[in-house]
Amino acid sequence: MKLKVMEMSPDLNPIEHLWGILKQKVEKHHMSNIQQLRDVIMEEWKRIPAKTCAALVKSM
């Protein structure tokens, strides 16, 4: 029996969960321009622990 894997399924695509985590973190900041938004995104991305990424991949 073969199962078709839906490539675009958020449950099977760990990056979708990471985007959600990043969005929650970024929304806590108050930015007044695009450069501040970029800076906050980069800083919050760097703060997501590698173990979080590994856990998401493992949960697939």
Picking from 52, 54, 55, 60, the residue whose alpha carbon sits closest to that of residue 22 is 52
Domain assignment present for 39: yes
Most confidently modeled range among 14-28, 30-44, 45-59: 30-44
Domain assignment present for 1: no
Domain assignment present for 50: yes
Domain assignment present for 56: yes
The per-residue pLDDT for 2 is: 56
Q: What is the mean pLDDT of residues 11-21?
A: 84
Picking from 60, 58, 21, 56, the residue whose alpha carbon sits closest to that of residue 41 is 21
Enclosing domain of residue 35: 31-60
Domain assignment present for 46: yes
Looking at the 3D structure of the chain, how many domains does it have?
A: 1
Residue 11 carries which DSSP code? G
Domain assignment present for 54: yes
Domain assignment present for 59: yes
Picking from 22, 53, 52, the residue whose alpha carbon sits closest to that of residue 37 is 22
Domain assignment present for 47: yes
